[in-house]
Amino acid sequence: MSPHIEAGEVVHKALKYAMDIIHPGMPVIELCQRVEERIIAQGARPAFPVNVGINEVAAHYTATRGDKLVIPNNAVVKIDAGAHKDGYIVDAAVTVSLGTNAYDGIVKAAREALRAAYESLRPGVKAWQIGEVIESRIKSFGYRPIYNLTGHRIEQYNLHAGDVVPNYGDRTASQALRPGDVYAIEPFATNGKGYVKDLNKITIYRLIRTKLKGKQEYLDNIYRVARTLPFSPRWFPEIPEEFFAEAASRGALYGYEVLVEEAGGVVAQFEDTFVIEEDGARPLANTLELAQ
Ligand code: MN
Ligand code: MN
């Protein structure tokens, strides 16, 4: 089996496990750690820290060291997990709603948008056309896509390889899909404005320079574990907390801001990673088969 297909099975099982164990009152740090451990136990590496986005938090939140945040009741929770084998990355996400059916529509809108996008994948299709399919499917349920979040092409050890797949018909995403391309596609649906903004809080970093005077040992540790893929400070208990912000300000690390819906709207997300094939596409994590 190819490493990419193996990584897809790892992510499928990790997301299924997350859906089984998540419950109101569960510490978010426990959810993140247990899902990351499940990825490692299957012989893969996390491609990034498990992201847990509650209600209006759209992306880039992972538990901090000693995090006190707990999964609430009557909430929508997005679980976004990634694994890689030898750098072949699979990035996928599901949304669950807990203790209420008030959000069933918004969850369904995001899921059906991913399904419609999948069905439209084939060589020659332009990325903006996928975005148009996503937008119209989400709107058919009465919600908005998040206009300033996108899917992305993936390369070995490179989670965001330049080309994007927008969540609306953005003509600037003009590239055509080619056989062998790998794309993560991630529709986000919201009852808010349809835009995310920075929360001015960083929980995830990525190494962007391999040299840092006086702190080389820390950077070497990070490179050994995460290469240039996103990581959580939780993974490096030996590194003092102040290091991360300092290294970011010195240009050695990139910090991902937590992203929240501008109007405080609830956000749902589904994501899978697809390999473009001659007659369509192959979903690697089979996210659409993970029913709540
Ligand atoms: Mn993702
Ligand atoms: Mn992604």
Q: At what angle do helices 3-21 and 28-41 cross, to 10 degrees?
A: 150
In the predicted model, is pLDDT for residue 292 greater than 90? Answer: no
pLDDT surpasses 80 at 291: no
If asked whether residues 63 and 107 sit together in one domain, one would say yes
The mean pLDDT value of the chain amounts to: 97
Residues 168 and 240 grouped into a single domain: no
**Buried/exposed code over 167-189 (b: 16+ C-beta within 10 A; e: otherwise):** bbbbeebeeebeeebbbbbbbbb
pTM of the model: 0.97
Q: What is the CATH number of the domain that holds 250?
A: 1.10.10.10
pLDDT digits (tens, 9 = 90+) for 85-103: 999 999 999 999 999 999 9
Please state whether beta strands 188-190 and 144-145 pair in parallel, antiparallel, or not at all (unpaired).
antiparallel
CB 127 within 8 A of CB 163: yes
**CA 73 to CA 25: how far, in whole Å?**
8
Ligand 2 centre to CA of 89 (Å) is: 10
Show the tokens assigned to 276: 């473009």
Tell whether 248 and 150 lie within a shared domain.
no
**Residues 116 and 229 reside in one and the same domain:** no
User: Look-up: residue for tokens 């820290």?
Assistant: 49
Q: In this predicted model, what pLDDT tens digit does every residue of 30-49 receive, in sequence order? A: 999 999 999 999 999 999 99
Tens digits of per-residue pLDDT, 192-236?
A: 999 999 999 999 999 999 999 999 999 999 999 999 999 999 999
Rounded to the nearest angstrom, the distance between the alpha carbon of 95 and the centre of ligand 1 is 12
Same domain, 30 and 136: yes
pLDDT on residue 62: 98
Same domain assignment for residues 133 and 173? yes
Q: Is the predicted pLDDT of residue 242 greater than 70, yes or no?
A: yes
Q: Which of 132, 135, 163, 271 is catalytic?
A: 271
Among all bound ligands, the one having the nearest atom to the CA of 82 is 1
Q: Residue 213: which domain range?
A: 204-256
Q: Indicate whether 163 pLDDT > 70.
A: yes
Q: Catalytic residue at 152? A: yes
Q: What pLDDT is recorded for position 1?
A: 81
What integer is the mean pLDDT of 158-174? 95
Active-site choice (6, 36, 56, 91): 91
Q: Are 235 and 226 in contact (CB under 8 A)?
A: yes
- Distance CA(188)–CA(130), nearest Å, equals 14
Same domain, 45 and 165: yes
Together in a domain, 135 and 173: yes
Q: Based on the domain organization, do 24 and 161 belong to the same domain? A: yes
